[in-house]
Amino acid sequence: MMTLDAIAERVREGRRLGREEALILSRNAPTPLLGELAEMVRARKHPDPVVTYIIDRNVNYTNVCVAKCNFCAFYRPVGSSEGYVLGFDDLFRKIDETIAVGGVQLLLQGGHNPDLPLSWYEDLFRAIKMRYPAFKLHALSPPEIIHLSRLSQLPVEQVLDRLIAAGLDSVPGGGAEILVDRVRKLLHCYGKATSDEWLDVMRRAHCAGLRTTATMMYGTVETDEERIEHLLRLRDLQDETGGFTAFITWSYQPSHTELGGVEATGIDYLRTLALARLVFDNVDNLQASWVTQGGKVGQLSLAYGANDMGSVMIEENVVRAAGASYCMDEVEIVRNIEDAGFIAKRRNMHYEILGDPIFCQRDVPRMLELATARGNGETSTPNELRLYPARSRTGKASRLQDGMSELQDGGIAGWQDLKD
């Protein structure tokens, strides 16, 4: 067995870590050593003392989901009185608010709703691009794309092509959880996407010219070996395509979930982040997950391999449903970056620097509370939904009730008519 000293030396020499070495580090390395090595790798990859962040808005367009992952507190089953779908106008308003604080992108993800066909997504993307041509759509994680492929009975490549033609700019790395099928079966997320299926969507997205991120949710039922297997599978795909811009890891949030359990500690988070920095010699950027860890651990992440503070979170629904609700607007993010000794710069999804903080240049409204998908007590159904065929029994019944069932797949013209 290799000694810790020999493995640390290997990292210092810039050589790639193998499975066995990563496992020894994860089990036996003292936390300060992991931090020191990860910081060294971060500084090698990012010699300028700059830490980046993006201003975007994390919007969940629907919480209705047939996947029913047992670690998820966010979803509602089809027919639930708490289920929602956001209307196009709701989304336009959210984009207006995002642009007002200097935002450049929507991170758009949601449940696997059988009553939203592919044409709904295409019309939405086109409508957004028509109104906001420069605004970016970082949208639909691999399991959502697989869901649309099954729903429309079209191959994943074709779904991707249609979404790209409608305005999809990049794909978020959600839904990866742990890319080991034993774990996925235990988390009831094997059906939404197997490990191979998740990786294959990313491969196809990269081949179609899109950049994507990669993620890991740890702290459920996986072993140390399975966490490392996850990192290695992502590293292999990155060797093949080079399409991942960044890696983000966060801990499972157990409150209000079927799976239950306890949350991993902040130390486990920092160790996991540092290990990822050491394994990913081919991924440039690691984000700090302050949304699950809070601002202080988020700031400490910058000493454990992270070079990016992720998103100025204007809105968040998924992690909040599971009990965590940290809020940092641009002023707070920048303060955390500067207090850690770095220079804060805004970026886009491609990690191109956009400039200094917006609030240094002009007045922007402070956002001291996270917005939610819908206001309290809001239950209305968006008008344009009637234009799209539903698949579920309850969805069909409610659209029949609206008296518009004869309208099939209305397209953007239909939506605009309805709106006008």
Residues binding ligand SF4 (CB under 6 A): 65, 67-69, 72, 74-75, 111-112, 143, 189, 192
Burial of 378 (C-beta count, 10 Å sphere; 0-12/13-18/19+) = exposed
Q: Least distance to ligand SF4 from the beta carbon of 357, Å? A: 32
Nearer to ligand SF4, 65 or 273 (CB): 65
Give me the helices (H) in 51-180, please: 88-100, 118-131, 142-152, 156-166
Q: Least distance to ligand SF4 from the beta carbon of 17, Å? A: 30
* Measured distance CA(66)–CA(77) in Å, rounded: 6
- Using the structure block, give the residue that is written with the tokens 């992690």: 319
Nearer to ligand SF4, 192 or 399 (CB): 192
* Measured distance CA(343)–CA(335) in Å, rounded: 10
Q: Considering only CA atoms, which of 85, 86, 94, 84 is closest in space to residue 131?
A: 94
Q: Least distance to ligand SF4 from the beta carbon of 67, Å? A: 4
Nearer to ligand SF4, 253 or 272 (CB): 253
Nearer to ligand SF4, 37 or 65 (CB): 65
Q: Least distance to ligand SF4 from the beta carbon of 156, Å? A: 16
Q: Least distance to ligand SF4 from the beta carbon of 63, Å? A: 7
Instruction: Measure Cα distances from 24 to 3, 18, 179, 414 in Å.
Output: 8, 10, 20, 59
Which residues touch 74 (CB under 8 Å, ≥6 apart)? 60, 63, 111, 317, 318, 321, 322
Nearer to ligand SF4, 72 or 279 (CB): 72
Residue 365 half-sphere exposure, CB side, CA atoms within 13 Å? 11
3-state secondary structure of 118: helix
Q: Considering only CA atoms, which of 71, 35, 78, 118 is closest in space to residue 304?
A: 35
Q: Least distance to ligand SF4 from the beta carbon of 112, Å? A: 6
Nearer to ligand SF4, 112 or 233 (CB): 112
CA 94 to centroid of chain Cα atoms: 18
Q: Least distance to ligand SF4 from the beta carbon of 285, Å? A: 24
- Yes or no: say if 142 and 193 are a contact pair by the CB < 8 Å rule: yes
Q: Least distance to ligand SF4 from the beta carbon of 27, Å? A: 29
* Measured distance CA(182)–CA(399) in Å, rounded: 39
Nearer to ligand SF4, 67 or 418 (CB): 67
- Using the structure block, give the residue that is written with the tokens 């609030």: 359
Nearer to ligand SF4, 70 or 282 (CB): 70
